[in-house]
Amino acid sequence: MKKVIVIGSGIAGLACSATCAKKGMQVLLLSPAPSERSQSVMASGGINAVLPGGEPGDNVESHIEDTLRGGRYLSGKRAVTGLCQSAGQILQDLERIGTVFSVDAAGAPKRRAFGGQSHKRTFYCGASTGKQIVTALIMEARKYESRGLIERRLWCHFYKALLREGVCYGAMIFDEKKKQLETVTADALVIATGGQNSLFGKTTGSNMCDGYAVGRLFMQGVALKNLEFIQYHPTTIETAQKKMLISEAVRGEGGRLFYETNGRRVYFMEEKYGPRGNLMTRDVISREIFLAPGPVYLDISFLGKKAIDEKLPEVKEVCAKYRGIDICREPIPVVPSVHFFMGGIAVHNNHETDMKGLFAVGECASMYHGANRLGGNSLLAAIHSGRTAANAIADEAAERVMREEDFSSELAGEQARLEMSMASKSPFPVMYIRDMLAETMQRSLGIIRDEAGISAGLEDVDYYLSVANRISYDGSVSAYHNFSLTGILTLAKAALLSAKARKESRGAHCRSDYPEEDENYACATIVSYDGGSYTVSFDKEHAYES
């Protein structure tokens, strides 16, 4: 029986685990916390699919074209075609396993409009679509847990992959309760650890998604892709503790963006882009809000309390609870904020990396969204990528001939290093460096960037790296926060180098010094690492689209 290790138990990890188990494989599902804590529960707006009964003229080809165009033609057409073609089946499967979709009087799931899409094709569950899907997938995984096909372990952090000569044999993990490293081996290792939020401090997402696994794999020789493409969601609301997402569903239901001048509302998106201006893609709207002459608001009050209570209850609650704003009566003050990472681990169409047996799925992998992701495509991609990896692992002709690879000396070495570090004291608090990194990244990789700002960011990160390499153990925070620091900083440097190399503006990567899209850059950015040196290249041969 093939054995698979899945790291991360959000939607991508759950979808991958359940599919592996369904195909008779044995899954070890590792995460620091249960799936209810994953960022997936925060996805609100919906999931895209073309199904019978949709708007006249809609078809899978339109979904493919919308996705490619929204991503400024940077994603591979074959991968996007696979994504969109699988969407109908995914929706049906989500219904079959009991997801509570919003339905019409006849019991059929309802659709709403979303940004950058030619037709209304976003299915939803109120404004808590991610949470409802997570609940259904947890139950699906539980079915296989009870059959002994999925074993879950909590309190586990990824430490590093077990790699030898381009082949992955499993992972070294850190057990937070035992405070120990251990090795787990399998035929395949699937990374499903989500986005790189901690590079930017507090984002709309979970602060458990920190990008460490991606950074550490990069340091182990795994190539990363398109790191400069960071999605700023146009509509978030400032609260005392963070900027919280105001779902695109608000604009999908007719919400209008405006700023005020001389007491008059200027509906700037509609004025510039026509009646569908509020449903332009996120990169475009974020830039327009950033450039607006004053504070921007999003108005949905005209929809009325009844419709708001029915369609957007969670949005109403967040605004009331954290800002005392009643969206049925007043507009929502909005600002853009870091929300999603189009870039991540470079994978081939089957979601395998360049390392045999090492896969990446969900937001930590870069595949479908190109230079800008469409709303409603991330939940879809999380499930599709998890399934694609599971199918690829199942299709491998036979179980890997597990050569008697012995990782015990590597484990002993890492454990000794960690213990030595834990016994030392440091004058540099880890959290302080993470805060400084967030400030640097927000300054250097904002909505609009330029060479000087990116170079200044690189200088900062080089300094943090030099401190991190000299740092002793900061006993005032958890062991994980200590050992993850260098991986996170290394990933930040890779992102800055990628942004510096792409001398054009495309999608979410907007350079004031290179404001135009340039055909010479119509391919993915690849960054690789070898013993401390970073190499950025452009995938003109489309090597990762096979």
Partner 1 sequence: MKVRILRQKSADSEPYWESFSYDGPMEQSVAGLLDYLNFHDDIRTADGEKTDRILWECSCMQGVCGACAMVINGRPALACETFLKDLKGKEITIRPLQKFPVVRDLVVDRSSIQENLKKTNLYIDEYQPSEKESHAQQYLAAKCLKCGLCLEVCPNYVNGNTFYGAVFVNDCFLVSARNREQRGEIRKAYRQHFESDCSKALSCMDVCPMKIPILSFLTMR
Q: Does 443 bind partner 1 (CB under 8 A)?
A: no
**Choosing from 111, 282, 287, 449, which is the catalytic residue?**
282
116 vs 284: CA distance, rounded Å: 10
Site for partner 1 in 324-343 (CB under 8 A): none
Quick check: 94 and 133 in contact, CB under 8 A? Answer: yes
Count the alpha carbons within 13 Å of 526 in the hemisphere toward its beta carbon: 19
The rounded radius of gyration (Å) of the Cα atoms in the chain is 23
Judged by CB under 8 A, the residue of 52, 56, 57, 107 near partner 1 is 107
Closest approach, Cβ 324 to partner 1, in A, equals: 9
19 vs 143: CA distance, rounded Å: 12
3-state helix, strand and coil shares in percent for the chain, rounded to the nearest 5:
40, 20, 40
Site for partner 1 in 34-73 (CB under 8 A): 34, 36-39, 41-42
Closest approach, Cβ 94 to partner 1, in A, equals: 9
Beta-ladder partners of 264? 261
Q: Which is nearer to partner 1, 210 or 288 (CB)?
A: 210
Judged by CB under 8 A, the residue of 59, 78, 89, 98 near partner 1 is 98
Task: Assess whether 282 carries a catalytic annotation.
Answer: yes
Q: Does 108 bind partner 1 (CB under 8 A)?
A: no
Q: Does 432 bind partner 1 (CB under 8 A)?
A: yes
Beta-ladder partners of 173? 158, 182
Using CA of residue 429, residue 431, residue 435, residue 436, what is the dihedral sign?
positive
354 vs 539: CA distance, rounded Å: 14
Site for partner 1 in 165-224 (CB under 8 A): 176-177, 202, 206-208
Residue with tokens 């991503």: 71
Which of the stretches 32-40, 291-299, 387-395, 445-453 binds partner 1 when contact is defined by CB under 8 A?
Answer: 32-40
Closest approach, Cβ 126 to partner 1, in A, equals: 6
CB atoms within 10 A of CB 220: 16
Q: Does 146 bind partner 1 (CB under 8 A)?
A: yes
Kindly write out the interface string for residues 461-500 of this chain, putting x where it contacts partner 1 by CB under 8 A and - elsewhere.
--------------xxxx----------------------
Q: What is the DSSP string of 232-283?
A: EEEEEEE-SS-EEE--THHHHTT-EEEEEETTEEE-HHHHHH-TTGGGS-HH
Residue 493's H or E segment, with its range, is: helix 485-501
Judged by CB under 8 A, the residue of 145, 238, 270, 539 near partner 1 is 145
The number of residues that bind partner 1 (CB under 8 A) is: 55
Where does this chain bind partner 1 (CB under 8 A)? 33-34, 36-39, 41-42, 95-100, 103, 107, 125-126, 128, 131-132, 135-136, 139-140, 142-143, 145-146, 152, 154-155, 176-177, 202, 206-208, 239-242, 244, 314, 318, 321-322, 429, 431-432, 435, 475-478
Q: Which residues are catalytic?
A: 282
